[in-house]
Structure 1
Amino acid sequence: MTGERCAARAHEDAVPIRAEHFQSPASTDSMGDAVLHIAVIGSGSAAMAAAIKAVERGARVTLIEHGTVGGTCVNVGCVPSKIMIRAAEIAHIRRHSPFDGGIDVNPPAIRRDVLLRQQQGQVDALRHAKYEHLLTEYPEITLLRGSARFLDARHLQVRLPSGDIQALAFDRCLIASGARPAIPPIPGLAGTPFWSSTEALESPQIPASLAIIGASVVALELAQAFARLGSRVTILARHTLLSREDPEVGRTLAKIFREEGITVSEHREVAAISYQGAHFVLDVGGQTLRTEHLLVAAGRTPNTGTLALDTVGVETDGHGAIRVDARLRTTQARIFAAGDCTDQPQFVYVAAASGTRAAINMTGGEATLDLRSMPAVIFTDPQVATVGLTEAQARANGLIPESRLLTLENVPRALANFETRGFIKMVAEAGTGRLLGVQAVTSQAGELIQTAALALHQNMSVQDLADQLFPYLTMVEGLKLAAQTFNKEVNRLSCCAG
């Protein structure tokens, strides 16, 4: 991200923020000096990371939250979904594995009530440990329950749970209000008891049949999880699976899903939806699909519509996402933003890193967030992990790429596991061999991608990677083998990829 997005910033907003501007109207330290007061809207990962860093740098913070402390990830996102995904993976392994000929199959009985209690218990424990308890450890952070909106560039209006209104003055403000599931305007949908990801993760039953509208991260993770726990799952994709990734990623995952019994319908539009006799009825391209439950997983919408951002000149894009520059500043000098409510990638680790850097900048420091080597993971089985540029993105950036695709039949660990579904693809700059990106569909792809991210961050070439020592019989050794394919035929090498 660059400051070019904020080229239209008013002259006043372009003035550097100096130390003498950091004055709080309501608080002083033990020496009688004014203490910077930062208001933070939200209490998720970006908000908490910012609040902690801000108080470490001498500020005091008011955290404003109208819902459950902790935001999306710990409560209704990353944590419960990964618990459910892991349970589904165990069920799948007990029902089917490459070793069934030598290990008797033991089909599992799914007790959703027990799994749900286990899932929610871990969610509650992590929320307490990482959010609620931490608030008691930092007396400089005050939690204010209520819904905030801007009055001007120095004041918020907070509607308390009682209905009363409280005005809150601030020196700096961080918007970290997160996002919510996006609901497409499909005729009839609003009048049905459909699920978003939140309701799906909290459902006490595994439905006999489940249709899913969407073909990105949340849709695919939950599709496979519900299928492995006993649902007949149909994915309805407007384009292809993971259409923004390298095409081979979506093709490979679609093939794997179909092999597991999931119906993958690509290039399909849902024209209308109704709810009849305890079933959803979908008009899909003139054909009728009946299903017990419907999950809508069509992306997420920033929670910015109620903040009165136009009052203070904070610009958003066409989807309501707040525009921020490399220092997390909005188009209002005193107001910063971080996390899923911004135009940055919607990942919890990006949100936390952004919150920390925003706090540094709000308290007089200089910090930026470099997303060029940002890894991403999709927790299907096999996992999908990516970092850097695809071939198409490299060309769009004016580069001349060359790539190699290594199938997992060439990775010793995959052979030892009898699990060779997937690939590792490496993209390099033609001529220099500089690593540009990696896309992987493999078991443990989420673990190996960080090595690729570090190599990318260090501007390594594929030859640099090929020359490194990688432990034998690990999946990450596949990176070395993929790098070697630029100059060697790996099927003619001995073991250990020396």
Structure 2
Amino acid sequence: MSDCSESKNRNNSYDLAVIGAGSAGFSAAITAAEDGARVALIGYGTIGGTCVNVGCVPSKAMIRAVEIRHSAKRAKRFDGVEATAQVTDWAAMVAQKQTLVDDLRAAKYVDVLPNYQDVNYIEGRASFLKDGSLLVGDRTIRAPKVIIATGSTPHVPDIPGLDGIDWLDSTSALEQEQLPKSLMVMGGGYIGVEIAQIFARAGVDVTIVTRRGLLPDAEPEVSEALTQAFADEGIKVLDGLSYTKFEKSGETVVLHAARNGVAVRIEAEKLLLATGRVPNTSSLALDVAGIDTNMRGGIVIDPQMRSSRDGVYATGDVTGIDQFVYMAAYGAKLAAKNAMNGNTLSYDNSVMPAIVFSDPQVASVGLTETEARSAGHDVITSVLGLEHVPRALAARDTRGLIKLIADKETKKLLGAHIIAPEGADSIQTAAMALKMGMTYDDLGAMIFPYLTTVEGLKLAAQTFEKDVAKLSCCAG
């Protein structure tokens, strides 16, 4: 994309400079422009950032595509039904995914810019100078306020022998035009879980290797249920590992590790690294500008999105906090408003919904049981298996559960955690319940439509004090 700033602004001075042209950068630039600011939007690499190009959009498109093959395999759970489906052209699926990415990048980013005459897009890598101005190529961009929204990149662990392996990350894995026979996925977080299931459902023999298990920060009941679902699907999960080294054996990648003191050897045709993401800060010269970072390189910010340097804000993955596209955009809007209007708004993630698009889907909002106890609450919990949810029974798919966290004395809901085939579409109801300060009695008394997954929230709320197995349909 060409630099359109020269024709619009020849003195390189702006009210606001935004570094990063992904979802957070666009949110910040548009918000400030709508408030009357003249904005320099500085982008490096492909416009649009992680989500549309290599993250949310391509992964979810591929998840949906291979879901059809898996659904056909599971059709026999209904008496008298048989179905078949297969991946006949993986390269065609990859190409279709890329077409969607290209179309959305154009519609949501490239074609949006002309609508904002006060946003000047500048291509190039930005770095800070000591006076707080920005060097972009051979140009110096000056602005009294700067928002950093440069995102993150995949983390590469320090394991002997890894530098000799032609490994994949979540981006390159979904760009391959040929399926491997077997795949080793290192990491049990949300990226590893989603990508592993995509390839397993496409017919690849998948093994997940991880130190801490699947979704280690989730409620233990949720992690256990997902691990069992993966095992039932044929996805091997080797957790509790300590890694020794990698080596190449012919066309095979070999990981030497230990599990409970016993040596383990894992082999696969391809290796996918899914060991988290690290903030993109190394090229910004933050030390020159006196901008503090944490141990993982994330920019330290306060609730108003301010960094340690006056006038410089940061949002999204570059902070290492809440690495979700919607939280990046939310934080960017706050940063822009504060930069232009006096730091009156504070970041609030207390009712932030989070989703893992595995199958069954994992969704959560609010506190975990451990977090609630650490916060000083006398905690009471309700755990409802999906075998008590009529929607799941009708679908003959009772994989999963719903767990609610509440304060025992006040009955106020503190957190909700769902693992269910359609769990993602239910979490916003729980988020709104937490936002409104509802008790579990309040939630249990609400009217919910029968034979929906979200009705499980009502049943789980009733389970705090009732045995739902003894209730009739729609009782209570």
The answer to whether the aligner puts 1:400 opposite 2:378 as a matched pair is yes
What code does the residue aligned with 2:166 have?
Answer: P
What code does the residue aligned with 2:130 have?
Answer: D
CA contact (8 A) 2:72 2:82 kept: no
CA contact (8 A) 2:76 2:82 kept: no
Aligned to 2:118: 140
CA contact (8 A) 2:301 2:307 kept: yes
What code does the residue aligned with 1:253 have?
Answer: L
Aligned to 1:383: 361
1:115/1:27 CA distance change after superposition, 3 Å: closer
Supply the distance in 1 between the matched residues of 2:352 and 2:403 (Cα, whole angstroms): 17
The answer to whether the aligner puts 1:327 opposite 2:300 as a matched pair is no
Shift of residue 109, structure 1, vs aligned partner: 3.4
Secondary structure, aligned partner of 1:459: coil
Supply the distance in 2 between the matched residues of 1:98 and 1:224 (Cα, whole angstroms): 20
CA contact (8 A) 2:40 2:120 kept: yes
Query: Which of 231, 239, 243 lines up with 1:266 in the alignment?
Result: 239
Shift of residue 153, structure 1, vs aligned partner: 4.3
Ranges in structure 1 where 5+ consecutive residues have no aligned partner: 1-25, 29-34, 160-164
What code does the residue aligned with 1:148 have?
Answer: A
Aligned to 2:56: 78
The superposition leaves residues 306-333 of structure 1 with CA deviations (integer Å, 9 ceiling, x where unpaired) of: 1111112111110000111111111111
- Aligned counterparts, 1:333-352, within 5 A: 333-352=310-329
Aligned to 2:3: none
The superposition leaves residues 447-497 of structure 1 with CA deviations (integer Å, 9 ceiling, x where unpaired) of: 100000011011110001011111111100000000011121111111124
What code does the residue aligned with 1:427 have?
Answer: I
The answer to whether the aligner puts 1:445 opposite 2:418 as a matched pair is no
CA contact (8 A) 1:98 1:419 kept: no
Supply the distance in 1 between the matched residues of 2:142 and 2:331 (Cα, whole angstroms): 23
CA contact (8 A) 1:83 1:119 kept: yes
Supply the distance in 2 between the matched residues of 1:375 and 1:109 (Cα, whole angstroms): 33
Supply the distance in 2 between the matched residues of 1:174 and 1:82 (Cα, whole angstroms): 29
What code does the residue aligned with 1:102 have?
Answer: G
CA contact (8 A) 2:147 2:314 kept: yes
Aligned to 2:267: 290
Q: Which runs of 4+ in 1 moved over 6 A?
A: none
Aligned to 1:360: 337
What code does the residue aligned with 1:485 have?
Answer: T
CA contact (8 A) 1:242 1:250 kept: yes
The superposition leaves residues 358-395 of structure 1 with CA deviations (integer Å, 9 ceiling, x where unpaired) of: 11011114222210010100000000001111111111
Query: Which of 193, 196, 220 lines up with 1:223 in the alignment?
Result: 196
- Aligned counterparts, 1:294-309, within 5 A: 294-309=271-286
- Aligned counterparts, 1:414-453, within 5 A: 414-453=392-431
Supply the distance in 2 between the matched residues of 1:219 and 1:343 (Cα, whole angstroms): 18
The superposition leaves residues 65-89 of structure 1 with CA deviations (integer Å, 9 ceiling, x where unpaired) of: 1200000000000000000111111
The superposition leaves residues 231-257 of structure 1 with CA deviations (integer Å, 9 ceiling, x where unpaired) of: 100000101211111111111111110
The superposition leaves residues 90-118 of structure 1 with CA deviations (integer Å, 9 ceiling, x where unpaired) of: 11012223545322221423311111111
- Aligned counterparts, 1:26-41, within 5 A: 37-41=15-19
Query: Which of 469, 472, 476 lines up with 1:491 in the alignment?
Result: 469
Aligned to 2:68: 90
Secondary structure, aligned partner of 2:474: helix
- Aligned counterparts, 1:25-64, within 5 A: 37-64=15-42
Ranges in structure 2 where 5+ consecutive residues have no aligned partner: 1-7
Supply the distance in 2 between the matched residues of 1:386 and 1:462 (Cα, whole angstroms): 16
Supply the distance in 1 between the matched residues of 2:465 and 2:359 (Cα, whole angstroms): 31
CA contact (8 A) 2:18 2:42 kept: yes
Supply the distance in 2 between the matched residues of 1:107 and 1:157 (Cα, whole angstroms): 54
Supply the distance in 2 between the matched residues of 1:153 and 1:227 (Cα, whole angstroms): 52
The superposition leaves residues 288-318 of structure 1 with CA deviations (integer Å, 9 ceiling, x where unpaired) of: 2221100000000000011111112111110
The answer to whether the aligner puts 1:254 opposite 2:227 as a matched pair is yes
Aligned to 1:5: none
What code does the residue aligned with 1:323 have?
Answer: V
The answer to whether the aligner puts 1:124 opposite 2:97 as a matched pair is no
The answer to whether the aligner puts 1:243 opposite 2:216 as a matched pair is yes
1:486/1:261 CA distance change after superposition, 3 Å: same
TM-score computed with the length of structure 2 as normaliser: 0.95
Aligned to 2:4: none
What code does the residue aligned with 1:226 have?
Answer: F
State how many pairs are aligned: 462
TM-score computed with the length of structure 1 as normaliser: 0.91
What code does the residue aligned with 1:172 have?
Answer: K
- Aligned counterparts, 1:183-222, within 5 A: 183-222=156-195
Supply the distance in 2 between the matched residues of 1:341 and 1:231 (Cα, whole angstroms): 34
What code does the residue aligned with 1:190 have?
Answer: D
CA contact (8 A) 1:424 1:438 kept: yes
Secondary structure, aligned partner of 1:341: helix
Secondary structure, aligned partner of 2:179: coil
Supply the distance in 2 between the matched residues of 1:489 and 1:213 (Cα, whole angstroms): 41
Q: Provide the identity percentage.
A: 45
CA contact (8 A) 2:75 2:82 kept: no
